[in-house]
Homo-oligomer: A and B are copies of this chain.
Amino acid sequence: MTSPIRVAVNGYGVIGKRLADAVRTQDDMTLAGVADIATDYRVRTAVELGILLYGATDEATGAMRSAGLAPLGTLDDLIADSDIVVDATPKKVASLNKERYLAAGRKAIFQGGEKHELTGFSFVASLNYADALGRDLLRVVSCNTTALGRVVGSLHRAGLVRTTRAVLFRRGTDPWESHLNAPLNTVVPETSTPSHQGPDLQTIVPDLDVVTMAAKGPFDLGHVHFTMVETTRPTSVDEVRDVLGDASRVAFVRADEGIVGQNSIVELMRDLGRPRADLWEVALWEDAIAVRPDGGEIYLVYHVPNEAIVIPETIDAIRAMTGLESDGARSIAKTDAALGIRRRFVGTREPAGAAGPG
């Protein structure tokens, strides 16, 4: 195997900190360090975890030093010491960094907050890994689009999808900032219908007919999708369960096993010892899978863990772009094994193709 790829993470927020941990679980890549502008508990945690810290700007580097932190240098120093940069900075900031990475001769991965046009290539590991091989720029699509890609994309590959309609019920904010800008006791619909996630998925699967509607509500555990798939031919609950049971990074949960809501899913992650109680999988309610009597439409409901779902996709993107692994299935299997990604968490009904306990 080639020497470990050195990964720089710019932005130690919701995605960055999870990605930094994930990189450190893989044996073919190492974390060069993280860059950020904060000086509070967020970056101090990185120091506690033994992660090399850099200032994302000269000002930030100075502020870190004034705050008693010991950044090794600036973002440019981190870039220089890396083979590839994962940009996990806030929307708009990321796009300004692109030329900086390219000028330094580094490959760069951006997150779903950025537009497809920034990189010209959007990514979901199980859908277009091969097309990502050797690329200099790549965008891992958003959490919602990633979930749609895994679920609907797998049904599409099975030749089942004629049209997809999905209603996305989005979390109002993330836990780390739930003290502000959070909706309370209200539902706020998006008024631009269809919402952007459908077209976003089409940047990866152009021939997929999909329409999405969205709203946000007063909760922060993740999103929930209500997805209705018109089929190209009559199908059955058993066939849908088989296809989704083999789908990459889709795990089944069951209400009849006590997993009745998002809260029970997260509680289960806490009990299983997952880092940060994270869920990398789409959690799909197996006992809610329904099919219209004539077999012409599939009804699905699943939980989308917006904080962590794109982490394994980003790890695979690193392998594809740097040539660490040319085979998507092998990269996905390697990532999943290192993180402990599963097809089912409790219960005995292990579907075909299950990866088993991580």
Interface residues of A (CB under 8 A from B): 165, 167, 169, 183, 185-194, 211, 213, 215, 217-221, 224, 226, 228, 255-256, 260-263, 285, 287-288, 290, 292, 297, 299, 301, 303
Contact = CB atoms under 8 A, between A and B. Distances in A.
A217 B217 contact: yes
Contacts of A221: 185-187
Nearest to A301: B189
Contacts of A290: 192-194
Contact of A211 (B218, B287, B297): B297
Given A167-B167, A193-B288, A194-B299, A185 B226 contact: no
A156 to B, nearest CB: 19
Copies in the complex: 2
A217 B292 CA distance: 26
5 contacts: A165-B228, A191-B256, A211-B299, A213-B228, A215-B226
Contacts of A215: 169, 224, 226, 301
B219 A188 contact: no
A262 to B, nearest CB: 5
A228 B169 CA distance: 15
A284 to B, nearest CB: 11
Given A186-B219, A215-B224, A224-B215, A193 B260 contact: no
A144 to B, nearest CB: 14
Given A167-B226, A191-B285, A185 B219 contact: yes
A236 to B, nearest CB: 15
Contacts of A256: 191
Contacts of A192: 288, 290
A263 B189 contact: no
Interface SS of A by simple majority: mixed
A262 B186 contact: yes
Nearest to A262: B186
Contact of A191 (B169, B226, B262, B288): B288
Nearest to A299: B193
A44 to B, nearest CB: 27
A179 B259 CA distance: 24
Contact of A263 (B186, B226, B288): B186
A136 B194 CA distance: 46
A299 B166 CA distance: 12
Nearest to A220: B185
Nearest to A183: B261
B213 A301 contact: yes
Between A185, A255, A263, A287, the greatest number of chain B beta carbons within 10 A of the residue's beta carbon is seen for A185
A275 to B, nearest CB: 21
A217 B224 CA distance: 11
Given A167-B167, A211-B292, 9 more contacts: A169-B169, A185-B219, A185-B263, A188-B260, A188-B261, A191-B255, A191-B301, A192-B290, A211-B299
Contacts of A287: 191
A287 B189 CA distance: 11
Nearest to A255: B191
Nearest to A261: B188
Contacts of A292: 211
Nearest to A256: B191
Contacts of A194: 290, 299
